[in-house]
Amino acid sequence: MREKKLRLIITFHTTTDAMAFEKHCLAAGLPGRLIPVPTSITAGCGMSWMADPADRAALEDAIQKDALKVDALYEVVH
Amino acid sequence: MIYLDNAATTYHKPQQVIDAVVSAMQGMGNSSRGSHSGALKAARTVYDARCKAAALFGCDDPSRVVFTANSTEALNIAISGLFAAGDHIISTDLEHNSVLRPLYRLQAEQGVSLDFVRADKQGCVDYADFERLIRPETKAIVCNHASNLTGNMLDLARIGAVCKAHGLLLIVDASQTAGCVPIDMKSMGISVLCFTGHKGLYGPQGTGGMCIAEGVEIRPFKVGGSGVQSFSKTQPVQYPTRLEAGTLNGHGIAGLSAAFDFIAETGVETIHAKEIALMRRFYEGVKDVDGVTVYGDFSTDARAAIVALNIKDYESGEVSDELSETYGIATRPGAHCAPRMHEALGTVEQGAVRFSFSYFNRSDEVDAAVAAVKEIAE
Protein backbone atom coordinates (compact mmCIF):
# COMPACT_ATOMS: atom_id res chain seq x y z
CA MET A 1 0.00 0.00 0.00
CA ARG A 2 1.03 3.58 -0.56
CA GLU A 3 2.51 5.56 2.28
CA LYS A 4 -0.13 7.44 4.28
CA LYS A 5 0.30 11.17 4.68
CA LEU A 6 -1.72 14.24 5.50
CA ARG A 7 -4.24 14.96 2.72
CA LEU A 8 -6.91 17.52 2.03
CA ILE A 9 -10.19 15.70 1.41
CA ILE A 10 -13.26 17.47 0.04
CA THR A 11 -16.55 15.60 0.28
CA PHE A 12 -19.77 16.02 -1.70
CA HIS A 13 -23.46 15.27 -1.20
CA THR A 14 -23.86 13.72 -4.65
CA THR A 15 -21.79 12.31 -7.49
CA THR A 16 -23.14 15.12 -9.66
CA ASP A 17 -21.55 17.69 -7.34
CA ALA A 18 -18.28 15.72 -7.48
CA MET A 19 -18.39 15.70 -11.28
CA ALA A 20 -19.07 19.43 -11.40
CA PHE A 21 -16.14 20.00 -9.03
CA GLU A 22 -13.79 17.83 -11.07
CA LYS A 23 -14.79 19.51 -14.32
CA HIS A 24 -14.16 22.92 -12.80
CA CYS A 25 -10.78 21.96 -11.35
CA LEU A 26 -9.60 20.39 -14.61
CA ALA A 27 -10.60 23.51 -16.55
CA ALA A 28 -9.01 25.83 -14.01
CA GLY A 29 -5.84 23.76 -13.59
CA LEU A 30 -6.51 23.15 -9.91
CA PRO A 31 -4.73 20.16 -8.34
CA GLY A 32 -6.19 16.93 -7.01
CA ARG A 33 -8.22 13.92 -8.11
CA LEU A 34 -11.31 11.95 -7.19
CA ILE A 35 -10.95 9.01 -4.78
CA PRO A 36 -13.38 6.94 -2.69
CA VAL A 37 -14.30 8.81 0.51
CA PRO A 38 -11.88 7.65 3.26
CA THR A 39 -13.69 5.67 5.96
CA SER A 40 -12.05 7.86 8.58
CA ILE A 41 -14.42 10.59 7.35
CA THR A 42 -17.58 8.61 6.60
CA ALA A 43 -18.62 5.02 6.19
CA GLY A 44 -20.58 5.94 3.07
CA CYS A 45 -19.48 4.94 -0.40
CA GLY A 46 -19.29 8.19 -2.30
CA MET A 47 -16.30 9.88 -3.88
CA SER A 48 -14.21 12.76 -2.66
CA TRP A 49 -11.54 15.14 -3.97
CA MET A 50 -8.05 14.49 -2.65
CA ALA A 51 -5.37 17.18 -2.80
CA ASP A 52 -2.29 18.36 -0.97
CA PRO A 53 -3.16 20.47 2.11
CA ALA A 54 -0.85 23.14 0.65
CA ASP A 55 -3.45 23.66 -2.10
CA ARG A 56 -6.30 24.28 0.36
CA ALA A 57 -6.40 28.05 -0.12
CA ALA A 58 -6.62 27.79 -3.91
CA LEU A 59 -9.38 25.22 -3.72
CA GLU A 60 -11.32 27.13 -1.05
CA ASP A 61 -11.03 30.23 -3.18
CA ALA A 62 -12.53 28.39 -6.17
CA ILE A 63 -15.34 26.98 -4.00
CA GLN A 64 -16.23 30.47 -2.82
CA LYS A 65 -15.75 32.33 -6.07
CA ASP A 66 -17.49 29.84 -8.35
CA ALA A 67 -20.16 28.67 -5.86
CA LEU A 68 -19.10 25.02 -6.16
CA LYS A 69 -21.27 22.66 -4.13
CA VAL A 70 -19.26 20.74 -1.53
CA ASP A 71 -20.17 19.03 1.73
CA ALA A 72 -17.05 19.65 3.85
CA LEU A 73 -13.25 19.94 3.84
CA TYR A 74 -11.06 17.69 5.99
CA GLU A 75 -7.36 17.21 6.58
CA VAL A 76 -6.71 13.59 7.42
CA VAL A 77 -3.89 11.09 7.21
CA HIS A 78 -4.80 8.90 4.28
CA MET B 1 -39.27 1.11 -45.71
CA ILE B 2 -40.42 4.71 -45.71
CA TYR B 3 -40.59 5.48 -42.02
CA LEU B 4 -43.24 8.04 -41.13
CA ASP B 5 -43.86 7.01 -37.53
CA ASN B 6 -41.40 9.36 -35.91
CA ALA B 7 -43.88 10.50 -33.27
CA ALA B 8 -43.62 6.96 -31.86
CA THR B 9 -39.84 6.86 -32.08
CA THR B 10 -37.35 8.24 -34.56
CA TYR B 11 -36.01 5.43 -36.70
CA HIS B 12 -32.94 7.02 -38.25
CA LYS B 13 -30.40 8.01 -35.61
CA PRO B 14 -27.29 10.14 -36.12
CA GLN B 15 -24.19 7.98 -36.53
CA GLN B 16 -22.55 9.76 -33.60
CA VAL B 17 -25.35 8.49 -31.33
CA ILE B 18 -24.81 4.91 -32.46
CA ASP B 19 -21.04 5.26 -32.08
CA ALA B 20 -21.40 6.69 -28.58
CA VAL B 21 -23.58 3.78 -27.41
CA VAL B 22 -21.20 1.22 -28.91
CA SER B 23 -18.19 2.95 -27.37
CA ALA B 24 -19.87 3.06 -23.97
CA MET B 25 -20.75 -0.63 -24.17
CA GLN B 26 -17.16 -1.43 -25.03
CA GLY B 27 -15.84 0.13 -21.84
CA MET B 28 -17.78 1.99 -19.23
CA GLY B 29 -18.39 1.31 -15.56
CA ASN B 30 -21.32 2.35 -13.40
CA SER B 31 -21.84 6.02 -12.66
CA SER B 32 -21.65 6.91 -8.97
CA ARG B 33 -20.35 3.47 -8.07
CA GLY B 34 -16.70 3.94 -7.14
CA SER B 35 -13.90 6.06 -8.49
CA HIS B 36 -11.89 3.73 -10.73
CA SER B 37 -11.42 4.83 -14.31
CA GLY B 38 -14.44 2.92 -15.64
CA ALA B 39 -16.78 4.33 -13.00
CA LEU B 40 -15.41 7.83 -13.50
CA LYS B 41 -15.88 7.55 -17.27
CA ALA B 42 -19.55 6.74 -16.65
CA ALA B 43 -19.98 9.50 -14.09
CA ARG B 44 -18.35 12.05 -16.37
CA THR B 45 -20.47 10.93 -19.31
CA VAL B 46 -23.68 11.25 -17.29
CA TYR B 47 -22.65 14.63 -15.91
CA ASP B 48 -21.82 15.95 -19.37
CA ALA B 49 -25.26 14.83 -20.56
CA ARG B 50 -26.87 16.68 -17.64
CA CYS B 51 -25.04 19.86 -18.62
CA LYS B 52 -26.15 19.51 -22.25
CA ALA B 53 -29.79 18.90 -21.28
CA ALA B 54 -29.71 21.91 -18.96
CA ALA B 55 -28.31 24.08 -21.74
CA LEU B 56 -30.84 22.88 -24.32
CA PHE B 57 -33.88 23.45 -22.11
CA GLY B 58 -32.83 26.56 -20.20
CA CYS B 59 -32.39 24.86 -16.82
CA ASP B 60 -29.90 26.81 -14.70
CA ASP B 61 -28.58 23.93 -12.60
CA PRO B 62 -27.40 20.61 -14.15
CA SER B 63 -27.99 18.89 -10.80
CA ARG B 64 -31.70 19.53 -11.35
CA VAL B 65 -31.63 17.39 -14.51
CA VAL B 66 -32.81 13.91 -13.53
CA PHE B 67 -32.48 10.98 -15.92
CA THR B 68 -35.34 8.52 -16.33
CA ALA B 69 -36.25 5.72 -18.73
CA ASN B 70 -38.59 7.93 -20.76
CA SER B 71 -41.04 10.79 -20.37
CA THR B 72 -43.72 8.48 -18.95
CA GLU B 73 -41.45 7.72 -16.01
CA ALA B 74 -40.56 11.39 -15.61
CA LEU B 75 -44.24 12.36 -15.62
CA ASN B 76 -45.07 9.64 -13.08
CA ILE B 77 -42.31 10.91 -10.79
CA ALA B 78 -43.52 14.51 -11.06
CA ILE B 79 -47.24 13.81 -10.78
CA SER B 80 -46.92 11.34 -7.93
CA GLY B 81 -44.41 13.45 -6.01
CA LEU B 82 -45.95 16.90 -5.84
CA PHE B 83 -49.56 16.64 -4.73
CA ALA B 84 -51.69 15.74 -1.71
CA ALA B 85 -55.33 14.97 -0.92
CA GLY B 86 -57.56 17.94 -1.62
CA ASP B 87 -55.36 19.41 -4.34
CA HIS B 88 -56.89 20.30 -7.71
CA ILE B 89 -55.04 19.88 -11.01
CA ILE B 90 -55.92 21.19 -14.46
CA SER B 91 -54.98 19.27 -17.59
CA THR B 92 -56.23 19.17 -21.20
CA ASP B 93 -57.92 16.94 -23.74
CA LEU B 94 -54.69 16.88 -25.74
CA GLU B 95 -52.92 14.59 -23.30
CA HIS B 96 -51.35 11.21 -23.80
CA ASN B 97 -52.02 8.44 -21.29
CA SER B 98 -48.57 9.15 -19.83
CA VAL B 99 -50.19 12.22 -18.29
CA LEU B 100 -53.77 11.00 -18.01
CA ARG B 101 -53.22 7.71 -16.20
CA PRO B 102 -50.96 9.14 -13.47
CA LEU B 103 -53.58 11.88 -12.96
CA TYR B 104 -56.49 9.42 -12.89
CA ARG B 105 -54.58 7.31 -10.37
CA LEU B 106 -54.06 10.34 -8.11
CA GLN B 107 -57.76 11.08 -8.40
CA ALA B 108 -58.79 7.51 -7.50
CA GLU B 109 -56.24 6.80 -4.78
CA GLN B 110 -55.34 10.12 -3.19
CA GLY B 111 -58.41 12.33 -3.43
CA VAL B 112 -56.96 14.79 -5.89
CA SER B 113 -59.54 16.45 -8.14
CA LEU B 114 -59.10 17.08 -11.87
CA ASP B 115 -60.49 19.34 -14.55
CA PHE B 116 -59.73 19.30 -18.25
CA VAL B 117 -59.54 22.14 -20.73
CA ARG B 118 -61.63 20.85 -23.59
CA ALA B 119 -60.46 20.69 -27.20
CA ASP B 120 -62.69 21.49 -30.17
CA LYS B 121 -63.10 19.44 -33.36
CA GLN B 122 -59.81 20.82 -34.67
CA GLY B 123 -58.05 19.82 -31.47
CA CYS B 124 -57.65 23.44 -30.34
CA VAL B 125 -58.20 24.83 -26.83
CA ASP B 126 -59.62 28.12 -25.60
CA TYR B 127 -56.83 29.52 -23.43
CA ALA B 128 -59.32 31.42 -21.28
CA ASP B 129 -60.51 28.01 -20.02
CA PHE B 130 -57.29 27.54 -18.04
CA GLU B 131 -58.08 30.62 -15.97
CA ARG B 132 -61.77 29.72 -15.70
CA LEU B 133 -60.99 26.32 -14.18
CA ILE B 134 -58.68 27.65 -11.44
CA ARG B 135 -60.00 27.20 -7.88
CA PRO B 136 -58.46 28.11 -4.52
CA GLU B 137 -57.15 24.55 -4.15
CA THR B 138 -55.65 24.39 -7.68
CA LYS B 139 -51.96 23.48 -7.50
CA ALA B 140 -50.86 22.87 -11.07
CA ILE B 141 -51.46 22.71 -14.78
CA VAL B 142 -50.17 19.52 -16.38
CA CYS B 143 -50.10 19.54 -20.17
CA ASN B 144 -48.14 18.53 -23.20
CA HIS B 145 -46.31 20.90 -25.51
CA ALA B 146 -47.81 19.30 -28.61
CA SER B 147 -50.45 16.65 -29.15
CA ASN B 148 -49.06 13.32 -30.29
CA LEU B 149 -52.19 12.86 -32.41
CA THR B 150 -52.83 16.18 -34.18
CA GLY B 151 -49.46 17.88 -33.71
CA ASN B 152 -51.26 20.97 -32.40
CA MET B 153 -48.98 22.85 -30.05
CA LEU B 154 -49.94 24.56 -26.81
CA ASP B 155 -48.59 28.04 -26.14
CA LEU B 156 -46.55 27.25 -23.05
CA ALA B 157 -45.47 30.83 -22.44
CA ARG B 158 -49.15 31.81 -22.26
CA ILE B 159 -50.02 28.94 -19.93
CA GLY B 160 -46.88 29.63 -17.89
CA ALA B 161 -48.00 33.23 -17.40
CA VAL B 162 -51.34 31.98 -16.02
CA CYS B 163 -49.46 29.66 -13.66
CA LYS B 164 -47.20 32.47 -12.49
CA ALA B 165 -50.15 34.80 -11.88
CA HIS B 166 -51.92 32.19 -9.74
CA GLY B 167 -48.91 30.54 -8.06
CA LEU B 168 -49.39 27.21 -9.85
CA LEU B 169 -46.84 24.65 -10.96
CA LEU B 170 -46.55 23.98 -14.70
CA ILE B 171 -45.63 20.39 -15.50
CA VAL B 172 -44.94 19.83 -19.20
CA ASP B 173 -44.85 16.67 -21.30
CA ALA B 174 -42.42 17.59 -24.08
CA SER B 175 -42.40 14.13 -25.68
CA GLN B 176 -43.24 15.47 -29.14
CA THR B 177 -41.18 18.65 -29.06
CA ALA B 178 -37.92 18.15 -27.14
CA GLY B 179 -35.14 18.55 -29.68
CA CYS B 180 -37.33 19.78 -32.54
CA VAL B 181 -39.05 22.84 -31.05
CA PRO B 182 -37.28 25.50 -28.96
CA ILE B 183 -38.02 25.13 -25.24
CA ASP B 184 -36.85 27.54 -22.56
CA MET B 185 -38.00 26.66 -19.05
CA LYS B 186 -37.43 30.13 -17.67
CA SER B 187 -39.22 32.24 -20.27
CA MET B 188 -42.04 29.69 -20.51
CA GLY B 189 -42.43 29.45 -16.74
CA ILE B 190 -42.05 25.67 -16.67
CA SER B 191 -41.72 24.05 -13.23
CA VAL B 192 -40.98 20.51 -14.42
CA LEU B 193 -40.10 19.64 -18.02
CA CYS B 194 -40.42 15.94 -18.87
CA PHE B 195 -38.71 14.67 -22.02
CA THR B 196 -37.93 11.45 -23.79
CA GLY B 197 -34.64 10.75 -25.54
CA HIS B 198 -35.75 8.55 -28.42
CA LYS B 199 -38.02 10.86 -30.41
CA GLY B 200 -37.05 14.38 -31.47
CA LEU B 201 -33.75 14.20 -29.65
CA TYR B 202 -32.69 11.22 -31.82
CA GLY B 203 -31.25 9.36 -28.84
CA PRO B 204 -31.67 5.72 -27.76
CA GLN B 205 -34.89 4.24 -26.41
CA GLY B 206 -34.78 3.85 -22.64
CA THR B 207 -33.51 7.38 -22.12
CA GLY B 208 -35.36 10.47 -20.97
CA GLY B 209 -35.49 12.80 -18.07
CA MET B 210 -36.87 15.78 -16.29
CA CYS B 211 -35.61 19.29 -15.64
CA ILE B 212 -36.80 20.72 -12.34
CA ALA B 213 -37.00 24.44 -11.68
CA GLU B 214 -35.52 26.02 -8.56
CA GLY B 215 -37.85 25.70 -5.57
CA VAL B 216 -39.77 22.67 -6.88
CA GLU B 217 -39.39 19.80 -4.42
CA ILE B 218 -40.52 16.37 -5.67
CA ARG B 219 -40.90 13.39 -3.33
CA PRO B 220 -38.94 10.31 -4.50
CA PHE B 221 -40.95 7.86 -6.60
CA LYS B 222 -38.47 5.06 -5.92
CA VAL B 223 -35.71 4.69 -3.35
CA GLY B 224 -32.62 2.52 -3.27
CA GLY B 225 -28.98 2.48 -4.26
CA SER B 226 -27.43 5.88 -4.79
CA GLY B 227 -23.71 5.33 -4.42
CA VAL B 228 -23.61 7.99 -1.70
CA GLN B 229 -24.80 8.31 1.92
CA SER B 230 -25.16 4.53 2.08
CA PHE B 231 -25.81 4.30 5.81
CA SER B 232 -28.72 6.70 5.67
CA LYS B 233 -32.08 4.91 5.91
CA THR B 234 -33.64 7.43 3.56
CA GLN B 235 -32.93 8.49 0.00
CA PRO B 236 -30.51 11.45 -0.18
CA VAL B 237 -32.47 14.71 -0.39
CA GLN B 238 -30.18 16.33 -2.94
CA TYR B 239 -31.09 16.35 -6.64
CA PRO B 240 -30.55 14.44 -8.88
CA THR B 241 -29.76 11.55 -6.49
CA ARG B 242 -33.11 12.07 -4.75
CA LEU B 243 -34.94 10.80 -7.84
CA GLU B 244 -32.37 8.46 -9.40
CA ALA B 245 -32.29 5.34 -7.21
CA GLY B 246 -30.63 2.39 -8.93
CA THR B 247 -28.14 2.12 -11.77
CA LEU B 248 -28.71 4.64 -14.52
CA ASN B 249 -28.89 3.66 -18.18
CA GLY B 250 -25.31 4.78 -18.66
CA HIS B 251 -24.92 3.27 -22.13
CA GLY B 252 -28.12 4.93 -23.27
CA ILE B 253 -27.21 8.23 -21.66
CA ALA B 254 -23.89 8.15 -23.54
CA GLY B 255 -25.95 7.99 -26.72
CA LEU B 256 -28.29 10.69 -25.47
CA SER B 257 -25.31 12.91 -24.76
CA ALA B 258 -24.16 12.50 -28.37
CA ALA B 259 -27.74 13.21 -29.44
CA PHE B 260 -27.64 16.50 -27.52
CA ASP B 261 -24.46 17.32 -29.46
CA PHE B 262 -26.23 16.55 -32.75
CA ILE B 263 -29.14 18.82 -31.79
CA ALA B 264 -26.77 21.63 -30.76
CA GLU B 265 -24.69 21.31 -33.93
CA THR B 266 -27.71 21.16 -36.24
CA GLY B 267 -29.89 23.69 -34.41
CA VAL B 268 -33.39 23.18 -33.06
CA GLU B 269 -34.81 25.84 -35.40
CA THR B 270 -33.19 24.17 -38.43
CA ILE B 271 -34.61 20.80 -37.43
CA HIS B 272 -38.08 22.26 -36.87
CA ALA B 273 -38.05 24.11 -40.19
CA LYS B 274 -37.13 20.97 -42.14
CA GLU B 275 -39.65 18.77 -40.36
CA ILE B 276 -42.42 21.32 -40.87
CA ALA B 277 -41.54 21.69 -44.56
CA LEU B 278 -41.91 17.93 -45.00
CA MET B 279 -45.17 17.97 -43.05
CA ARG B 280 -46.51 20.85 -45.18
CA ARG B 281 -45.58 19.02 -48.39
CA PHE B 282 -47.57 16.02 -47.23
CA TYR B 283 -50.49 18.06 -45.86
CA GLU B 284 -50.83 20.08 -49.08
CA GLY B 285 -50.74 16.85 -51.06
CA VAL B 286 -53.53 15.09 -49.18
CA LYS B 287 -55.82 17.74 -47.66
CA ASP B 288 -58.06 18.15 -50.72
CA VAL B 289 -58.14 14.51 -51.82
CA ASP B 290 -61.72 13.25 -52.00
CA GLY B 291 -62.48 10.95 -49.10
CA VAL B 292 -59.56 12.17 -46.96
CA THR B 293 -60.25 13.87 -43.63
CA VAL B 294 -57.28 15.59 -41.97
CA TYR B 295 -57.39 16.42 -38.25
CA GLY B 296 -55.71 19.31 -36.48
CA ASP B 297 -54.91 22.98 -36.92
CA PHE B 298 -52.56 23.73 -39.82
CA SER B 299 -53.00 27.51 -39.73
CA THR B 300 -49.61 27.89 -38.06
CA ASP B 301 -46.18 26.29 -38.24
CA ALA B 302 -45.99 26.43 -34.45
CA ARG B 303 -46.82 22.74 -34.27
CA ALA B 304 -45.25 19.30 -34.36
CA ALA B 305 -44.61 17.63 -37.74
CA ILE B 306 -47.61 15.32 -37.57
CA VAL B 307 -50.56 14.79 -39.93
CA ALA B 308 -53.39 12.54 -38.71
CA LEU B 309 -56.04 11.56 -41.24
CA ASN B 310 -58.68 9.07 -42.18
CA ILE B 311 -59.68 7.82 -45.61
CA LYS B 312 -63.42 7.47 -46.17
CA ASP B 313 -64.84 5.24 -43.43
CA TYR B 314 -61.96 2.79 -43.62
CA GLU B 315 -60.71 1.45 -40.33
CA SER B 316 -57.44 3.24 -39.55
CA GLY B 317 -55.67 -0.05 -38.79
CA GLU B 318 -56.57 -1.41 -42.24
CA VAL B 319 -55.26 1.72 -43.95
CA SER B 320 -52.03 1.61 -41.96
CA ASP B 321 -51.60 -2.06 -42.80
CA GLU B 322 -52.22 -1.36 -46.48
CA LEU B 323 -49.66 1.42 -46.39
CA SER B 324 -47.16 -0.95 -44.80
CA GLU B 325 -47.81 -4.07 -46.88
CA THR B 326 -48.39 -2.54 -50.32
CA TYR B 327 -46.36 0.64 -50.18
CA GLY B 328 -43.75 -0.04 -47.50
CA ILE B 329 -44.79 3.04 -45.55
CA ALA B 330 -44.72 2.92 -41.74
CA THR B 331 -47.49 4.88 -39.98
CA ARG B 332 -49.39 4.53 -36.72
CA PRO B 333 -53.14 3.78 -36.64
CA GLY B 334 -55.58 3.45 -33.76
CA ALA B 335 -55.90 5.53 -30.63
CA HIS B 336 -52.29 6.64 -30.07
CA CYS B 337 -52.78 6.46 -26.26
CA ALA B 338 -54.73 9.74 -26.57
CA PRO B 339 -58.33 8.84 -25.66
CA ARG B 340 -59.61 12.32 -24.85
CA MET B 341 -58.15 13.73 -28.08
CA HIS B 342 -59.97 11.11 -30.13
CA GLU B 343 -63.18 11.85 -28.25
CA ALA B 344 -62.80 15.53 -29.13
CA LEU B 345 -62.11 14.76 -32.79
CA GLY B 346 -64.96 12.23 -33.00
CA THR B 347 -62.62 9.42 -34.02
CA VAL B 348 -63.08 6.99 -31.15
CA GLU B 349 -64.46 4.25 -33.42
CA GLN B 350 -62.30 4.76 -36.49
CA GLY B 351 -59.08 5.88 -34.87
CA ALA B 352 -56.78 7.78 -37.24
CA VAL B 353 -53.70 7.15 -39.36
CA ARG B 354 -50.81 9.25 -38.13
CA PHE B 355 -47.97 10.32 -40.42
CA SER B 356 -45.09 11.89 -38.50
CA PHE B 357 -41.92 13.31 -39.99
CA SER B 358 -38.32 13.59 -38.87
CA TYR B 359 -35.26 15.58 -39.88
CA PHE B 360 -34.02 12.49 -41.73
CA ASN B 361 -37.04 12.06 -44.01
CA ARG B 362 -36.77 13.17 -47.63
CA SER B 363 -39.24 14.92 -49.93
CA ASP B 364 -39.41 11.91 -52.29
CA GLU B 365 -40.59 9.79 -49.35
CA VAL B 366 -43.30 12.35 -48.64
CA ASP B 367 -44.35 12.30 -52.31
CA ALA B 368 -44.58 8.52 -52.23
CA ALA B 369 -46.82 8.75 -49.15
CA VAL B 370 -49.07 11.32 -50.85
CA ALA B 371 -49.38 9.06 -53.90
CA ALA B 372 -50.24 6.09 -51.70
CA VAL B 373 -52.96 7.99 -49.85
CA LYS B 374 -54.44 9.11 -53.18
CA GLU B 375 -54.50 5.55 -54.53
CA ILE B 376 -56.13 4.16 -51.39
CA ALA B 377 -58.72 6.93 -51.50
CA GLU B 378 -59.68 6.20 -55.15
At B92 the pLDDT is 98
**Domain residue ranges of chain A, discontinuous segments joined by +:** 6-77
Strand partners, B171: B142, B192
Provide the CATH topology of domain B2-10+268-377: Aspartate Aminotransferase, domain 1 (3.90.1150)
User: Which chain A residue is nearest to residue B239, measuring alpha carbons?
Assistant: A14
Instruction: Output DSSP code: residue B303.
Output: B
ipTM summary value = 0.88
- Residue B333, Cβ density class (10 Å: 0-12 exposed, 13-18 middle, ≥19 buried): buried
pLDDT in tens, B274-316: 999 999 999 999 999 999 999 999 999 999 999 999 999 999 9
Q: What is the pLDDT of residue A10?
A: 97
- Cross-chain residue pair A16–B40, CB shorter than 8 Å: no
pLDDT of residue B90: 98
Closest to B9 in 3D by CA, of B356, B262, B361: B356
Residues of A in contact with B63 (CB under 8 A): 14, 16-17, 20, 69
What's domain A6-77's architecture? Answer: 2-Layer Sandwich (3.30)
The pLDDT value recorded for residue B137 is 98
Strand B113-117 vs strand B169-173: parallel, antiparallel, or unpaired?
A: unpaired
Residues lower than pLDDT 70 in chain A: 43-44
Q: Is A68 near chain B, with CB under 8 Å?
A: no
Read off the pLDDT of residues B91-135 as tens digits, 9 standing for 90 and up.
999 999 999 999 999 999 999 999 999 999 999 999 999 999 999
Task: Give domain limits for chain B.
Answer: 2-10+268-377, 15-266
B192 HSE (CA, 13 A, CB side):
29
Cα separation of B57 and B260, whole Å?
11
Identify which of B244, B271, B273 has the alpha carbon closest to the alpha carbon of residue B49.
B244
Chain A residues inside the 8 Å CB shell of B238: 13-14, 17
- How far away is chain A from the Cα of B47, in angstroms, using its nearest Cα? 6
Q: How far is CA B317 from the centre of its chain?
A: 24
DSSP annotation of B136 reads: T
Q: Compare CB distances from A16 to B35, B229, B240 and report the shortest one's residue.
A: B240
Give the closest of B35, B232, B241 to A14, CB-based.
Answer: B241
Three-state DSSP class for B231? Answer: coil
The whole-number pLDDT of residue A2 equals: 80
Length of chain A: 78
Q: Which residues of A touch B35 (CB under 8 A)?
A: 34-36, 47
Per-residue confidence (pLDDT) for residue A43, from 0 to 100: 67
pLDDT under 50 in chain B at which residues? none
CA dihedral (B4, B5, B11, B14) positive or negative:
positive
**CA B258 – CA A30 distance, rounded (Å):** 28
Instruction: Say whether domain B15-266 belongs to CATH 3.65.10.10.
Output: no
Same fold, B2-10+268-377 and B15-266: no
- Which of chain B's residues have a Cβ under 8 Å away from the Cβ of A46? 32, 227-229
Which candidate from B62, B230, B238 shows the least CB-CB separation from A13? B238
